Chain A
Amino acid sequence: MFMEGKNMKKMRKVLTALVCGAMALTLTACGGSSTSDSVVIMSENDLMSLDSRMATDGTSFNVISAFTDGLYGYAEDGTLALALADDVKVSDDQLTYTFTLKDVKWSNGDAVTANDFVYAWRTVISKNSEYAFLLGSQGANIKNAQSVMDNGGDVTTIGVTAKDDKTLVVELDAKCGFLDKLLAFPTFFPINEKFAEEQGDQYANSTSALLSCGAFKLDTWEVGTKVSLSKNADYWDADTVKINNLTINLAQDQSAAALQYDNGELDYCVISSSLVDKYKEESFYSNINNGFLWYLFVNFEDETLANENIRKGLSAAINREDLCENVLKDGSSPATGFVPAELCKTEDGTDFAEKNGDLLAKNEINYDTAKAQEYINAGLKELGKSSVDITMVYGTDEGVDDAATYLEQAFSKLDGVNFKLVPTQKQSRINEYQEKGDFQLSLTRWGPDYADATTYLNNMEKSQWGGNNGGNNYGHYYNAKYDELMSKARAASEASERESLLLQANEILMEDVAIIPIFSQGQAILSNPSLKGLVHNAAGTPYIYKYLTK
């Protein structure tokens, strides 16, 4: 046959190799199915840095919290508990905190000392970490921290000192009601000064350039693929750590992860709305609240959007229930105000958002197509126009296409509104459109930095008008009463007084339709039924792996 000859020979060789290979593979391809003392978890995103000072994303926080502890940590029920700190004494004016440290060692044998914290916090500022603001007036209020950040100056003057190896003294400029929550955040974790200085530029670039003092030891890090950790036998709380091996798969595709889960190679994964229908009847399917609130910035400098009736009409045109239940399907829930549900609790134990109730319904800006059209008509009359053009900016790289599509439909149904979507990238949305005020509506989200309502409410003050201050009030909303309430809340000495002021502030936002909240994002989860002890936080570090059991 004419097929003989050099090509056929080559072909034969290749085919034989493939077949032999395939046979060999079938035998070895058992895959990494997790056993009873090892857990494999999927993370949708890659981690950005294992340097606790520089990390800004959830995945990095998760991994860092697995192999490093801070002064505070989380207990199995999700509440805060002392971790590296054995004991804390607070001064009467609540401005000085004295921590006594436990006897804990780093993975290279060095003891964890108070100086580790001092070094870490100082270098957070001197390295200009993006989360340095947490040490300043928007966060912990560490003495001198804000002024060093604003005006330069000696970073050794900030209010953290090591009285001796086991005693750490923290001084504040002003009271901070949630200092314990902040101290559980990786930005405040200790770093071994000698080791870090030795590693220099290479610090945290590989597993050999990092030390562990937490529940797990960092074993391997395949950049962009996965991180493997193993139980730290010398951990101060080693008895509570029940698994020996923990693997985090980074930036995994959701369909591929779902297949791996089906195969038994994965214990926990996040799936997208598109896969929900396939698994929603299963016992291992669940929803969690991932803490982000999606809402629309409204540009008050724009004539059309400055009209309150137009804003009300837009808000009333959105069928939030339909969006969450039938389109997103991942446990997202309709927003009831700017502060989302499950963020923080009030003094009497109820959820903050629940205490306010459904602010949308109260202000009649919840879903009602007839009312929506009424508002729009009233607004058009006030503007003296028969129709208006409204555009909405959104980022195609933010995974929110479904919501954008839904909103497009909802708004297009309004008579007198010529609605157009403006797709862009997140970077552009923030730096071009929002920062320059070149938008009417912008679809955006906010995630809590800490479990307190101010993490949301602070955004709407006048001082947060975007640009010079890096603030998030791009819509240039301003209400003097609102600002007054917020500053009073900051100065309040009683927790209950503070709380009621914040509740009032939250109400004002919806009375004014300062922003149009849409939904509180959820996540669809597939989780091995025998996997227990995964602690999930809506604010701060998303996942704590210390208490996992199988």
Chain B
Amino acid sequence: MDKFEFLADDFEFVGDKQDITKDQVTPAVPFWTDVWRRFKKNKGAVIGAVIIIIIALMAIIMPLISSFEFDAIDSSRANVGPNLTHLFGTDNFGRDLWVRTWKGTRVSLIVAFAAVIIDIVLGITYGMISGYFGGMVDSIMQRVQEILNSIPTLVILTLLMTVLEPSLFTIIFALMFTEWIGMSRITRAQVLKIKEEEFVLASRTLGASDFFIIFKEVLPNIYSQLIVMAMMTIPNAIFYEAYLSFVGLGLTVPQASLGVLINDGFKYFLSYPHMMTIPVIILALLMLSFNLFGDGLRDALDPTMKEM
């Protein structure tokens, strides 16, 4: 043992001993207030949420107060770049793009919302059941998913067209066929990782039913990845909707959505880039906000995420 020599000024008087054993109990706070507090602290998430709200409000209000109609054709003012009368310029028919973009954002937001719901309700549930139960159930469910995935969507769409009329509802219905498959696979992979953990075993020993375990034990431990990937599927849904309109099953001319605007503007990219660039920017902004929001949500709901 080394010998240390203590000098007089090596120690400092800290204070009265009574303080050290003081016990502070923070007031009990409901779960959601806690979540909200954590969420607020995350600047990125708050910015994301704010942008989403702003865009949503613009989408609702702008078409109502604008002096231009979204479908008013007037070739004398076609192909105009952004200026003071037409904040986003006009398209090749002379329709005001400011109104069209915001009207289109409405549709895209609805589609995005629907896609997320479908992902959650169908995709996650399917994946969890398939992954948790394993065996025959898993086998059959996976094979069904493979079959559904292998039929080209265009075939399904064309057949749907003989029965349904193009409308927003049809779009959401078409989404239900294939949108959830990617999500279910990711969920299943996550479930497979978790299901052999001890806490699951413990729950089962205690007599919990399978569905209790799935939704109360497994799900809370895997949702972080799921939220992130659910957000990533939103642009897919939006472009799928644009593709549907292109095929004739989605929105009919002259209605617009961000995807349709991007598709239309693409043809004009070399002559009038503003027609495509603006919806792309709005979409990217929306996506960024959804992702930041999703990240923030995930971080707020799960405080165990530690930093390295």
In the bound complex, CA of A274 to CA of B72 (Å): 19
In the bound complex, CA of A483 to CA of B76 (Å): 44
Q: For B73, give its contact among A259, A273, A404, A409 (CB under 8 Å).
A: A409
Number of A residues, CB within 8 Å of B:
30
CB–CB B271/A277 < 8 A: yes
Interfacial chain A residues near B73, Cβ < 8 Å: 405-406, 409
Known contacts A275-B270, A275-B271, A408-B253; is-contact A423 B75 (Cβ 8 Å) = no
CB–CB A425/B248 < 8 A: yes
CB of A319 to closest CB in B, whole Å:
9
B261-284 near A? 1/0 per residue, CB < 8 Å: 000000111111000000000000
Interface check A147, CB cutoff 8 A: no
Interfacial chain B residues near A423, Cβ < 8 Å: 166, 248, 252-253
Q: For B92, give its contact among A327, A408, A425 (CB under 8 Å).
A: A327
CB–CB A424/B270 < 8 A: no
Known contacts A255-B267, A275-B270; is-contact A396 B246 (Cβ 8 Å) = yes
Interface check B78, CB cutoff 8 A: yes
Q: For B161, give its contact among A274, A322, A424 (CB under 8 Å).
A: A424
- Chain B interface: which size bin? 20 to 34
Output the nearest chain B residue to A325 by Cβ-Cβ distance. Answer: B75
Interface check A130, CB cutoff 8 A: no
Which has the most chain A C-beta neighbours within 10 Å: B79, B253, B272?
B253
A398-440 near B? 1/0 per residue, CB < 8 Å: 0001101110110010000000111111001000100000000
Known contacts A327-B92, A404-B253; is-contact A409 B269 (Cβ 8 Å) = no
CB–CB A274/B253 < 8 A: no
Known contacts A274-B92, A327-B93, A421-B253; is-contact A409 B71 (Cβ 8 Å) = yes
Chain A binding surface, main DSSP class: helix
CB–CB A396/B247 < 8 A: yes
A174-215 near B? 1/0 per residue, CB < 8 Å: 000000000000000000000000000000000000000000
A320-352 near B? 1/0 per residue, CB < 8 Å: 001000110000000000000000000000000
Interfacial chain B residues near A401, Cβ < 8 Å: 253
Interface check A272, CB cutoff 8 A: yes
Interface check A6, CB cutoff 8 A: no
Interfacial chain A residues near B75, Cβ < 8 Å: 322, 326-327
B72-88 near A? 1/0 per residue, CB < 8 Å: 11011011000000000
Can you report 12 residue pairs joining A to B where beta carbons are below 8 Å apart? Answer: A255-B270, A274-B270, A275-B271, A278-B271, A396-B247, A401-B253, A404-B253, A409-B71, A423-B248, A423-B253, A424-B161, A432-B162
Residues of A participating in the B interface, judged by any CB pair closer than 8 Å: 255, 258-259, 272-278, 322, 326-327, 396, 401-402, 404-406, 408-409, 412, 420-425, 428, 432
